[in-house]
C-alpha cells in the first residue's frame, strides 16, 4: 500500500487525462457521417491504450460557451489500428456533431480525454450478438474486429439504418465478412424497405442467440425495442449491455480545485489497476477530483454523473452521490458508485475500480 500525503487547497492543472491530438485523416463515411483519424505520439501510446467499445471525449469550440464536451465511440480496434478513429454522425440541431463534420481539417489539433467507458467485453473469446442502429455501429465495429482478430468467438451483427446510403462502414463490413465467413454473420435492416425494426421482428432473429454476450447501441427507441425483443426470447439480463450517451453540460477538461482536508476529512483506500493507495478525502469533494489531484489515473469522461465511466465499487464504508443519471438499482445493490459524484459518509471508505 502507498500512502499519499494530504492535499493542500489548490487548483490542479496538468490533468494526465487531457491531451491534444492531431487529425491526420478525415474519412467521409456517408453523406452525414465522418471519421476523424488521430495520430498518437510515441510519448502518449500508453496513455491512449484502449479496449474495444470505449470512447473519446472531444472538446469542441463554442462561441457561446467557449467549448462543449461530447463523447464519440472509437471505431478503430486496438488489435488492428495504430491510430485512433472516432466516427461522428450529424444530428438535427446537434451543435458539436455538425461543427466537427463541417470544420475539422487534416492537421488540426483537438483536445481530448484519454479513452474511457465500460461498454467493453470482459473477454473476446465468447460469442457475441451485436445490435446496432445508425451511428450505434461505431463501438460495434471496434468490438467485432477485436473479437475476430484477437479472440476465438463468433459474431452476429444486426444493423438497422434508414436506407442503403446511410449505412456507415458498409464496405468495411463486407470486407470483414469475406475475411471471416465462418465467424461473422451480418443482417442489414433497411427501414426504407422493411419499416422500423419492431420487437416482434427482432425476436424472431434473436431466438438462436440467447447464450451470446449481447451489446446494444443506437437511438433510445430502438434500444428499448431491442431489449424487449431479447426479454421475449428469454435472454438473461446479465448477458445484455447497453451503451448510453448524454450530452454533457459541464466541462470535464476544467482544472480541479481541491480544498484543505481539515480535521473532519475522511480517508479512502482505493484499489486501481492492481495498486492500492490511501488518500485524505475532504468531506464535500468528489472522490474523482481527489484522485486526479494526486496524479492518480482514475477513469472518467464527464465528471458530472452522466456516463458511468468512473463507476467503482464500495467494498467497505458508505458514500453518497451528489448526482446519478446512469446507475440503476441493480448497480447500487452491488455497491457501485460514481467516483465523480461520491462524497464520504463514514470516516473510512474502501473503494475498488474493478469494472
Per residue in 42-66, pLDDT tens? Answer: 999 998 999 999 999 999 998 777 7
Antiparallel, parallel or unpaired: β 184-190 and 275-281: unpaired
Q: Is 174 left (phi over 0), alpha (psi -120 to 50) or beta?
A: alpha
Antiparallel, parallel or unpaired: β 128-133 and 155-161: parallel
What is the Cα Rg of the chain in Å?
A: 21
Q: What angle do CA 264, 268, 274 make, to 5 degrees?
A: 165
| b/e map 131-165, b = 16+ CB within 10 Å | bbbbbbbbbbbbbbbbbbbebebbbbbbbbbeeee
- Check residue 1 and give its pLDDT: 34
Q: Hey, what CATH topology would domain 256-352 get?
A: Ubiquitin-like (UB roll) (3.10.20)
Neighbours of 230 (CB within 10 A): 25
Grid coordinates of 28: 467521409
Q: The cell 487534416 sits on which residue?
A: 106
Grid coordinates of 95: 451543435
Whether 256-352 and 128-243 are alike in CATH topology: the answer is no
**CATH assignment of 128-243?**
3.40.50.80
Burial of 348 (0-12, 13-18, 19+ CB in 10 A): middle
- Check residue 257 and give its pLDDT: 67
> Of 183, 155, 181, 157, which Cα lies nearest the Cα of 169?
157
For 267-291, the DSSP string reads EEEEEETTEEEEEEE-TTS-HHHHH
- Check residue 5 and give its pLDDT: 32
What is the rounded distance in angstroms from the CA atom of residue 235 to the CA atom of residue 210? 5
- Check residue 259 and give its pLDDT: 62
Averaged in consecutive runs of 10 residues, what is the pLDDT profile of the chain (355 residues)?
Answer: 36 68 97 96 93 94 82 95 95 90 96 90 95 97 98 97 96 97 97 96 95 96 96 94 74 70 83 91 91 84 81 95 86 92 96 83
Asked if residue 147 lies in contact with residue 153, where contact means CB atoms within 8 angstroms, the answer is yes
Give the residue extent of every domain in the chain.
12-116, 128-243, 256-352
Architecture of domain 12-116: Beta Barrel (2.40)
- Check residue 258 and give its pLDDT: 67
- Check residue 66 and give its pLDDT: 79
Q: Please report, for the chain, how many H helices and E strands are present, in that order.
A: 8, 21
Amino acid at each position: 500500500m502507498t500512502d499519499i500525503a494530504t492535499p493542500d487547497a489548490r487548483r490542479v492543472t496538468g490533468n494526465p487525462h487531457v491531451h491534444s491530438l492531431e487529425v491526420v485523416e478525415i474519412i467521409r463515411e456517408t453523406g452525414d457521417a465522418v471519421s476523424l483519424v488521430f495520430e498518437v505520439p510515441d510519448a502518449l501510446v500508453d496513455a491512449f491504450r484502449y479496449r474495444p467499445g470505449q470512447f473519446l471525449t472531444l472538446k469542441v469550440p463554442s462561441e457561446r460557451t467557449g467549448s462543449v464536451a461530447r463523447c464519440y465511440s472509437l471505431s478503430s480496434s486496438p488489435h488492428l489500428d495504430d491510430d485512433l478513429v472516432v466516427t461522428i454522425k450529424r444530428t438535427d440541431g446537434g451543435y458539436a456533431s455538425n461543427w466537427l463534420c463541417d470544420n475539422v481539417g487534416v492537421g488540426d489539433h483537438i483536445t481530448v480525454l484519454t479513452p474511457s467507458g465500460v461498454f467493453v467485453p470482459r473477454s473476446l473469446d465468447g460469442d457475441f450478438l451485436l445490435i446496432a442502429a445508425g451511428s450505434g455501429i461505431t463501438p460495434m465495429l471496434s468490438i467485432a474486429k477485436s473479437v475476430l482478430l484477437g479472440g476465438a468467438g463468433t459474431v452476429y451483427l444486426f444493423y438497422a439504418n434508414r436506407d442503403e446510403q446511410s449505412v456507415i462502414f458498409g464496405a468495411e463490413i463486407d470486407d470483414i465478412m469475406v475475411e471471416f465467413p465462418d465467424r461473422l454473420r451480418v443482417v442489414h435492416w433497411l427501414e426504407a424497405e422493411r419499416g422500423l425494426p419492431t420487437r416482434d421482428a427482432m425476436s424472431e432473429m434473436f431466438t438462436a442467440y440467447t447464450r451470446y454476450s449481447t451489446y446494444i447501441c443506437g437511438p433510445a427507441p430502438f434500444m428499448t425495442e431491442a431489449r424487449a425483443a431479447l426479454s421475449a426470447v428469454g435472454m438473461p439480463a446479465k448477458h445484455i449491455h447497453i451503451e448510453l450517451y448524454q450530452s454533457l453540460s459541464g466541462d470535464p477538461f476544467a482544472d480541479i480545485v481541491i480544498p484543505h482536508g481539515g480535521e473532519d476529512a475522511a480517508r479512502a483506500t482505493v484499489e486501481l489497476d492492481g495498486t492500492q493507495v490511501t488518500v485524505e478525502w475532504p468531506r464535500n469533494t468528489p472522490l474523482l477530483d481527489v484522485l486526479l489531484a494526486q496524479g492518480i489515473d482514475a477513469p472518467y469522461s464527464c465528471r458530472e454523473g452522466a456516463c458511468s465511466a468512473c463507476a467503482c465499487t464500495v467494498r467497505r464504508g458508505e458514500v453518497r452521490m451528489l448526482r446519478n443519471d446512469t446507475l440503476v438499482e441493480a448497480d447500487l445493490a452491488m455497491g457501485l458508485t460514481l467516483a465523480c459524484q461520491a462524497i464520504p459518509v463514514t470516516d473510512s471508505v474502501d473503494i475498488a475500480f474493478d469494472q
